[in-house]
């Protein structure tokens, strides 16, 4: 277990370094200057040069890169060009909004996936199984930029049951959480259903039946536990995606989260904010994958990682 953690941590550091490097150079290869955004295109050239010199943009690129890495190693993400606020102070509250949205969507999708997956496996080949298969296929195929507006039009515009945009309270979580969790719930339910169907043909299931265990005990106590292992990997990866910023969904619902912050920072050429957000997203994603590897090993000690 310790060797696994050390190996994943080494990969974690390498991935962060690669992403940080990529973000740094991509931002500087984009045509234009952040001084034009901050001071305005019509600002005097002297003021633009003074601004660029103040923030170190006139230094050689390799010196800027070394300084960038050094600050990141010490947790210094720099300051905003617009209001001179620390980037960490800007990112943290937006990340909390994304965190709440992602966790609610995640647990909602798990609850739906387990219920639908077990029900479909128990009713294999019947109309319930066929109906859930069709609904799952539609949910997996429909992108969030279609699901979101449809839900908004029905429940916020026509029925006026829920808020349309922003975070105005608990009811504001309903539509974006359903939008985020629908695809994950549909995909996970099909995996759980397939896993249970395969497990039900194993010898230990027949032994459990011969002992007189009820169908519900066989499904939940024996079949679901073993069928859920392959789904664990998918759930861990999806949790990383959700936590690292749901850009499209947050834009649709005007959610004040990390994804929308990235879009704002890119349009305003806030290099420090963009770099900080991307590194936070990458850290979360890699960390979630590490947790999944550890949990998988705990759930099934037979698993070995080369």
Each residue's pLDDT tens digit, 24-64:
887 777 776 777 777 777 778 788 788 788 777 778 888 88
The three-state (H, E, C) secondary structure of the chain, written as one string: CHHHHHHHHHHHHHHHHHHHHHHHHHHHHCCCCHHHHHHCCCCCHHHHHHHHHHCCCCCCHHHHHHHHHHHHHCCCCCECCCCCCEHHHHHHHHHHHHHHHHHHHHHHHHHHHHHHHHHHHHCCCCHHHHHHHHHHHHHHHCCHHHHHHHHHHHHHHHCCCCCCCCCCCHHHHHHHHHHHHHHHHHHHHHHHHHHHHHHCCCHHHHHHHHCCCCHHHHHHHHHHHHHHHHHHHHHHHHHHHHHCCCHHHHHHCCCCCHHHHHHHHHHCCCHHHHHHHHHHHHHHHHHHHHHHHHHHHHHCCCCCCC
Looking at 45, 73, 101, which one is the last position of a domain? 73
Q: Is residue 80 part of a domain?
A: no
Domain identity same for 114 and 257: yes
Residue 246's domain spans which residues?
92-299
Same structural domain, 25 and 160 = no
48 in the same domain as 133: no
Whether residues 102 and 39 share a domain: the answer is no
Where does a domain end: 43, 73, 103? 73
Query: What CATH number is given to the structural domain containing 256?
Result: 1.10.3720.10
In the chain, the number of structural domains is 2
- Residues 99, 69 within the same domain: no
pLDDT given for residue 28 in this prediction: 75
Of 73, 101, 123, the position where a domain reaches its end is 73
The pTM of the full predicted model, rounded to 2 decimals, is 0.76
pLDDT of residue 15: 82
Q: And the tokens for 290?
A: 């590490």
Is 137 found in the same domain as 60? no
Tokens of 134: 């069709």
Query: Which residues of the chain are under the pLDDT cut of 70?
Result: 1-2, 4, 32, 221-222, 240-241, 243-245, 296-306
In a domain, 48, yes or no: yes
Burial of 236 (0-12, 13-18, 19+ CB in 10 A): buried
Res 66: pLDDT: 87
Output 241-245 pairs: Cβ under 8 A, ≥24 positions apart. Answer: 241/285, 242/101, 242/102, 242/103, 242/105, 242/106, 242/180, 243/98, 243/99, 243/102, 243/103, 243/284, 243/285, 243/288, 244/280, 244/281, 244/282, 244/284, 244/285, 245/98, 245/277, 245/281
11 and 122 share a domain? Answer: no
Shared domain check, 251 and 168: yes
């Amino acid at each position: 277990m310790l060797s696994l953690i050390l190996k994943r941590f080494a990969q974690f550091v390498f991935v962060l370094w690669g992403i940080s490097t990529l973000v740094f150079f991509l931002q500087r290869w984009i045509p234009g200057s952040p001084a034009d955004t901050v001071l305005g295109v019509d600002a005097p050239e002297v003021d633009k040069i003074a601004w660029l010199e103040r923030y170190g943009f006139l230094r050689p690129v390799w010196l800027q890169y070394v300084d960038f890495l050094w600050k990141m190693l010490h947790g210094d993400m720099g300051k905003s060009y617009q209001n001179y606020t620390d980037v960490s102070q800007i990112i943290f509250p937006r990340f909390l909004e994304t965190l709440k949205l992602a966790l609610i969507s995640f647990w909602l999708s798990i609850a739906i996936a387990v219920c639908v997956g077990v029900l479909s496996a128990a009713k294999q080949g019947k109309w319930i199984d066929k109906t859930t298969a069709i609904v799952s296929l539609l949910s997996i195929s429909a992108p969030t930029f279609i699901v979101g507006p449809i839900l908004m039009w029905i429940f916020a515009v026509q029925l006026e049951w829920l808020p349309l945009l922003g975070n105005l309270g608990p009811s504001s979580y309903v539509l974006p959480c359903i939008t985020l969790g629908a695809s994950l719930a549909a995909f996970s339910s099909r995996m759980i259903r397939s896993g249970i169907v395969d497990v039900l043909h194993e010898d230990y299931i027949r032994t459990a039946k011969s002992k007189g265990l009820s169908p519900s005990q066989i499904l939940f106590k024996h079949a679901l536990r073993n069928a859920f292992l392959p789904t664990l990997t998918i759930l861990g990866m999806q949790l990383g995606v959700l936590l690292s910023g749901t850009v499209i969904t947050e834009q649709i619902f005007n959610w004040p989260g990390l994804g929308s912050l990235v879009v704002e920072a890119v349009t305003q050429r806030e290099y420090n904010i963009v770099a900080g957000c991307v590194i936070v997203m990458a850290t979360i994603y890699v960390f979630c994958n590490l947790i999944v590897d550890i949990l998988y090993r705990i759930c099934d000690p037979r698993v070995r990682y080369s």
